[in-house]
Structure 1
Amino acid sequence: MAKAKLFGAIVMSAQSIDLTIVNLRNLETVERVSAPVALGDRLFTEGGIDYDVVDEAVSALRGFQQLMTDDGVTDERVVASHTITDAENISYVRDQIYTKTGLTVHFMTVSEELMFRYQAAAAYLPNFRELIDEGTVLIQIGASSITLMVFQAGELTLTRELQLGPMQVAQKMAQLEHQVDTYEDVLADYLHSKLLDVWRLLPEKQFKQVILMGSKLTLLENLIPENKRALALSHADFNQRFDQVMTLSDQELEDQEQLPEMEVNEVAPTFLLLNELFDTMQIETVWVSNIKLLDGFVVHHAAETGQLKLNWDFNETMISAAKNLAKRYQVDQAHQKKVLTFAVQLFDRLRKIHGLGPRERLLLQLAAILQDTGLYLDANQHAFHSEYIIRASEVLGLDLTEQFAVAAIARYHSSRAPSAGLSHLSRLPLEARLTIAKLAAILRLADALDDSHRAKISKISVSIRKQTFTVTATANDDIELEKWTFSQKGTFFREVFGLQPILKRKGTL
C-alpha cells in the first residue's frame, strides 16, 4: 500500500502558532502542536508586533519544519489570521520569516476565515446541515474579534465581525480593571453597548440554538467528551458554568482549570460576552465545538486539491451569501437575475478566447450580483459606491486580491470605461489586472442587455467570427436602448478581446 501523503498546515494567530499534520484523504491527524507565541501582545495598544516576539515565531516555525521533515510531510502551507496582518510592521515580519525559514506566509482575510469555519463545521459537525436548515448563529470567539454567521433556511444570510475578542477587550480595559471595584459590571455594560448594532441587523426570527467555535473557549471545550468534536449545552447548563467560572480567582483558574496565565484576564470578557449574546437572543441550546480555524484551513485545502469530497457546493454557498448581501442594499433582483444569467452565458461562450477558469467564472458571478449595491448610497456614479461597499464587506470566501477584483469588475460595469491600463489597480499583478479587464468587459455587455431593467430579452445566442462577436437576442419588444448601450460598452470589449461586439434582435414586435 502506498504511503499516505501528509500535509502540514500552520496558522499564526494573536497568541499562538499552531501546526497540524494530516492525511488529507481522511482528515486523520498525525500530529498537532501549538507554540504559545504572543504575536498580538502589543498589537492592540501599540499597533505593531514586537521584534523579540518575531524571533520566538521564527524559532517555533523552525521547530515545526523539523517535525514536518521527520513525519515525511510532502506539502505545507502557512497562513496568518487577519488579526495580525493588521499590524503596522507586518510586511517586515513576513519578510523576516521568509528570509530565516524559507516559509511564505499567506495573509488571510475575514472573508476567507469565514469560509474556512463554514467548511470545518460542514466537515466535522454531523448535524450541521440540520442546524442551519432550522436556523442558527455560528459564533466564533477569537483573540481580537468575534464573528457571527447567521443561517436561515439553510442559507447564510448575514455575517458580522466585531472587535470584541477577549484579548483585545482585556488589553483595552486593563487600566480600568484596577481602578474600579465593579469591573465586571462596567465590562458587561461595555459589551452590551458594542452589541447594539448586531441586534439591529439580526432578523426578527428568534434563534433557539447557536454553534460556538474559536480559540477562546477553553473553559467550555474541556466539557466535551474525548474523541468528540462538539457538545450540546442547555442555556441552564451554560449559566451554571458561567456562575462557576466567574467566582474563581486568577490562581484558581490556573490551578483548577489549567488555564495559561496569559489567558486568565480574558475569562471575564469571554463569559460576559457569551452571556449577553445568549440572554438577548433567548438561546435554548449551545453547541460548543472544539473546531479551530486550523481545522477549517485543512478542510479547505483538502477540498480545493480534490483530495476530500464533501457533499456540499461551497461555490453555491458563496453565491447565495452574495445575494443576501445584495438584498441588504435593496438591489433590483429581477435585473440582477438577468445580468447574472447573461454574464455566465457570455463567459462560457468565450471560454476558448479568454482562457479563464472556474474560479474566475465565480468572481464574475459575484460581481454581477453585487454590481448595483452602490445605488443604495447614491444613484450618481453608483458603480464607484459599489466598489467601496464590496471592498468593505465580508464577501464569503474571497482572498484580498479576489475581493479587490470583484470590486473593480463591479465598478467598471457602468457606462464609464476603465483606462486601458486599469491604472487605479496598479498595485495588483499584471495577470490579475488582465483578468479584471476580461471579466469587466463581459459584465458590461451583460448589463447592457437589460439596460432598461424591463427584462425585454428572454434569451440570447452567440456567434463568434474572426473579428466579430454577435449576440442575437430573442425579444418581442423594442430593444433600441439595449442596442445603444451595448454599442457604447462594447468599445472596451473590443479593446480587450479584439472582437467587435454586435447585438441583433429576433422576434415579433
Structure 2
Amino acid sequence: MHISEFTGKTEKTLEYLVKPLSVGKDTFSEGYISLENVYKAAEILNGFSKKLDEYDLWKNYMALCTSGVREAANRYFFIDHIKINTGIELKILEPSDEIYIKYLGVKYAMPEIDNYEENGLLFTNISSGNIFINILKKKKLILSEALPYGSLRLTQIFKDIPVQKQHKAYEQDIGKMVFTLKNLLPKKMNIKNMVSSGSSIAVLTDTLKPQKDIITKKDLVSAYNKIKEMNVHEIIDRFKLRQSQIEILIPTLITYLKIMDFAGVGFFYFSRNTFPYSMSLYYSKTIKDPRLYNRFKNTLYYIGEKYSFDKNHAKIVVKFALKIFNKLKKIHSLKWKDRHLLESACILHDIGYIIEPKYHEKHSYNIIKSIEFPGYSKEFIEMMAVISFLHKEKHDINKDEVSLKLPIEKRLIVYKLSSILRIADALDASHNQLISDLDIKIESNAVHIKANAKKYPYLEHLSFNNKSEMFTRTFGADITLETNSDFK
C-alpha cells in the first residue's frame, strides 16, 4: 500500500506498507486462489482499509490486481469477497495498461529515456507472473508483448524437477520465449539500449549491490555461475537474501541474461521506483505522455507497411476525413479524442487487402482488433476496428453484429466517424489521388463538397454516390460532390 500526498506536481510518500501474500503461487500452479489465501487477503486488506479511514481516502484511492488475480479462475469471487468484507473495490488491470503505467513511471525517473527510444530501446519489466517487453525506435512502438514467463510462474511450472536441475529447465523455457521474440521482430532490428524495472530489480540489487543504476552482463554471468552451484543456506549466508527472493533468484538471473543476449547489450539501466509509486503518479495525473498519440500514429503506419498497405491512399483518406471532421464541428458534436479515433481508423481501414480484397473490411477489423498498444484501451481499439469495418458501403449499421456489440453511446460515435470515413474513402476510390483538395460548405440540411481534381474522377463520383447514404442518415443532411469541370 502506497499513500502519497501531492502539492502541485510534487509527491511526498506518507506511508508504504507491505504485507507479503503470494496469491500468484496458487494461480500459477493450480489456476485459482485457495480459500485460505482469499481469507488472508481479506484480513490484510481490512487492515489497509483502516488506513483509508485514517487518511480519509475512500473517495480517492485505487486498488488494482495484476496477473496473480487477473488469471485466477475464481477472480470474480475473490474481488466480491474483498468488497463485502473490507469495502475495498478491486479493479483488474489489463496487461497493456500495466506495462504502460510501469513505463511512464520509468520515464518519470529517467528523462533521458526519450533519447534511448530514438536509437532503439528495449524496455522490460519482469514481475512474478509476466515479462513485459516494449521495443521502441524512432518514435514508433515496434513490439509490445506480455509474456507468461515471470519468475514466480517459472518456479511453479518446474517445482517438481530436482532443484539441482531446475536451472536447465528455466534456460530451455526462457530460450523458447526469446525464440518467439526473434520471430516477431524485423531481421535487421538494432537495439542500442535496455531499461528495466519491476519486482525483479530488488532481487538483483540485493544480490549484486550495484553502486549505480546500471547492471552489467559480466556481473550477472558471474553471479549466475556461482549461485547455480550453491544450496539455499549458502545463498542466505553469502547474499543475505530472504527466502522469497532466493526462490526466484535463478529464473530471474537467467531471464535477464537471455534478454540481454537477445538485445545484444552488455548492460542495462534500471529504475528503483516501485509499481505502487508509479501508480500514484499516474492516477494523480502527475505523469503524462504528450508523445503518446504521435507514437501510436507512427506505429499504425508501421503496422500498415508490414501488411503492404497503400500508404498514399491512407494518407489522402486521412487528409480528407480530418478536413471534413473539422468543417462539420458544429453539427457532429464530437470531441478531439474522436478525431484521433477517426484518423487511426483511416490509416488502417484497408489493411486487410493483403489477405482478401473482396472481404478486406472483415480482415481489417480482425487485424486492428488484435492490436495492443500500451496507453490505449481495448474499447478504443474495438471502436477503431468497427469504424474500419463499416467503411464498406454494403454494411447496414442497424444490422451488423460487429457494431451492435458496442454500447449505444459508443455506437453513435462510431456511426458518425464511419460516415465521414466512407466519404473520405470515396474521394480516392481509384487509389490514384486524382482529387488533391476539398472545399466544404455547410448550408441548412446540406453539405457541399467542391473538389480539385487532376482529371475527371469517374470512380470517385460513383463511389461517393454509393457511400453517401449513411452520411445523410447519420447527420440528417444531404451531401453533394462537385469537381472542377475544366478537364482536357
TM-score in same-fold range (> 0.5): yes
Identity score, percent: 22
Structure 2 residue 116 is matched with structure 1 residue 134? no
Q: Distance in 2 between matches of 1:37 and 1:57?
A: 7
Pairwise CA distance, 1:273: 1.6
Do the aligned partners of 1:476 and 1:507 also contact (CA within 8 Å) in 2?
no
Q: Give the counterpart letter for 1:112 in structure 2.
A: D
- Aligned 1:93-132 pairs, distance under 5 A: 93-132=78-117
Partner of 1:165: 150
Aligned residues: 484
Which of 15, 18, 21 does residue 37 from structure 1 map onto? 21
What are the Cα deviations for residues 354-409 of structure 1, in whole angstroms up to 9, with x where unaligned? 32222222222222223233233332312222222222221332222222222222
* Consecutive unaligned residues in structure 1, runs of 5 or more: 1-17
429-438 or 46-55, which deviates more: 46-55
Q: TM-score, normalised by structure 1?
A: 0.85
Q: Does 1:90 align with 2:72?
A: no
Q: 1:402 maps to what in 2?
A: 380
Counterpart of 1:435, as a letter, is: I
- Whether 1:189 and 2:178 are equivalent positions in the alignment is no
Aligned 8 A contact 1:19 1:33 in 2: yes
Distance 1:422 1:296 in 2: 41
Deviation larger for 308-317 or 197-206:
308-317
1:22 Cα deviation after fit: 4.1
Letter matched to residue 288 of structure 1:
F
Q: Distance in 2 between matches of 1:433 and 1:95?
A: 30
- Greater radius of gyration (CA): 2
Please give the alpha-carbon distance, in whole angstroms, between the structure 2 residues aligned to 1:215 and 1:427.
38
The one-letter code of the counterpart of 1:199 is K
Q: Report the equivalent of 1:57.
A: 41
Contact persistence 1:208–1:285 (CA under 8 A): no
Which of 116, 127, 141 is the aligned partner of 1:156?
141
Go from structure 1 to structure 2 and tell me whether the alpha carbon gap of 1:302 and 1:276 turns closer, same or farther (over 3 Å shift).
same
Alignment of 1:438-449 (within 5 A): 438-449=416-427
CA distance in 2, matches of 1:176, 1:380: 53
Q: Is the 8 A contact 1:253 1:264 kept in 2?
A: yes
Q: For 1:451-470, what per-residue CA distance to the aligned partner results, in whole angstroms no more than 9, with x for missing partners? A: 22112222223222332222
Q: How far did residue 276 of structure 1 move?
A: 1.4
Q: Determine if the alignment matches structure 1 residue 290 to structure 2 residue 275.
A: no
Q: Is the 8 A contact 2:281 2:287 kept in 1?
A: no
Partner in structure 2 of residue 455 of structure 1: 433
Give the aligned partner of residue 249 of structure 2: 267
SS at match of 1:217: helix
Which residue of 1 is the match for residue 183 of structure 2? 200
Task: Provide Cα deviations, 1:258-304, integer angstroms capped at 9, x if missing partner.
Answer: 6553453322222112111212432122112223443443343344x
Distance 2:408 2:377 in 1: 17
Kept after mapping to 2: 8 A contact 1:234/1:284: yes
Partners in 1 of 2:17 and 2:400 — Cα distance? 45
Quote the Cα distance in structure 2 between the aligned partners of 1:331 and 1:324: 10
1:137-191 deviation per Cα after TM superposition (whole angstroms, max 9, x unaligned):
111112222122112234322223322122222222222346xx53322321222
1:370 pairs with one of 340, 348, 359 = 348
Q: CA RMSD in A?
A: 2.9
**Cα separation, 2, equivalents of 1:293 and 1:387:** 34
Query: In 2 relative to 1, CA 182–350 (structure 1 residues): closer, same or farther, beyond 3 Å?
Result: same
Residue in 2 that maps onto 1:238:
220
Q: Deviations over 1:233-260 (max 9, x none)?
A: 3322333343454444334555665655
Query: Structure 2: how far apart are the matches of 1:86 and 1:471?
Result: 52
Give yes or no for contact 1:22–1:31 (8 Å, CA) kept in 2.
no
CA contact (8 A) 1:138 1:211 kept: yes
- Is residue 477 from structure 1 mapped to residue 460 from structure 2 by the alignment? no
- Aligned twin of 2:359: 381
Distance 1:29 1:188, change over 3 A: same
| Whole-angstrom distance in 2 between the partners of 1:399 and 1:473 | 36
Question: Structure 1's 481 and 46: CA in aligned 2 closer, same or farther, altered over 3 A?
Answer: farther
Residue by residue, what CA displacement relative to the aligned partner does 1:327-373 show, whole Å, maximum 9, x if unpaired?
Answer: 33222221221222222222222333332222222222222223233
Distance 1:104 1:391, change over 3 A: farther
Task: Tell me which amino acid in the other structure corresponds to 2:26.
Answer: R
Confirm or deny that 1:211 pairs with 2:195: yes
Q: Which residue of 2 aligns with 1:71?
A: 55
- How far does residue 427 in structure 1 lie from its aligned partner after superposition? 4.9
Change (3 A) 1:340 1:255: farther
- In 1: Cα distance, 2:38 partner to 2:321 partner: 47
Matches within 5 A, 1:483-494: 483-494=461-472
Give the unaligned 5+ runs of structure 2.
none
Contact 1:137 1:150 in 2 (8 A): yes
Residue 103 to residue 438, structure 1, CA distance change in 2 (3 Å): farther
The separation in 2 between residues aligned to 1:276 and 1:172, in whole angstroms, is 19
**Secondary structure at 1:436's aligned position in 2?**
helix
Task: Judge conservation of contact 2:220–2:253 (CA < 8 Å) in 1.
Answer: no
Q: What letter matches 2:421 in structure 1?
A: L
2:474 aligns with: 496
**Counterparts in 2 of 1:284 and 1:476: CA distance versus 1, 3 Å:** same
Aligned to 1:174, which of 134, 159, 162?
159
Q: What are the superposed Cα offsets for residues 391-445 of structure 1, whole Å, 9 maximum, x if unpaired?
A: 2221332222222222222222223324316544555432222222222222222
* Counterparts of 1:489 and 1:430, CA distance in 2: 23
Equivalent residue runs for 1:325-344 within 5 Å: 325-344=303-322
1:108–1:399 contact (8 Å) kept in structure 2 = no
User: Partners of 1:89 and 1:25 in 2: how far apart?
Assistant: 39
Q: Which amino acid aligns with 2:93?
A: M
Measure the CA separation in 1 of the matches of 2:306 and 2:83.
41
After TM superposition, the structure 1 stretch with the greater mean CA deviation from structure 2, 131-140 or 149-158, is 149-158
What's 1:10 paired with? none
1-side partners of 2:459 and 2:76: how far apart? 49
Structure 1 83/323 Cα, relative in aligned 2: closer, same or farther at 3 Å? Answer: farther
Distance 1:448 1:503, change over 3 A: same
Change over 3 Å in CA distance of 1:434–1:129 after alignment to 2: same
Q: Residues 387 and 253 from structure 1, CA distance in 2 versus in 1: closer, same or farther, beyond 3 angstroms? A: farther
1:359 equivalent to 2:343? Answer no
For residue 175 of structure 1, give the secondary structure of its aligned residue in structure 2. Answer: coil
Instruction: State whether residues 145 and 162 of structure 1, in contact with CA within 8 Å, keep that contact through their aligned partners in structure 2.
Output: yes
- Whether contact under 8 Å (1:474, 1:507) holds in the other structure is no
Shift of 1:193: 2.3
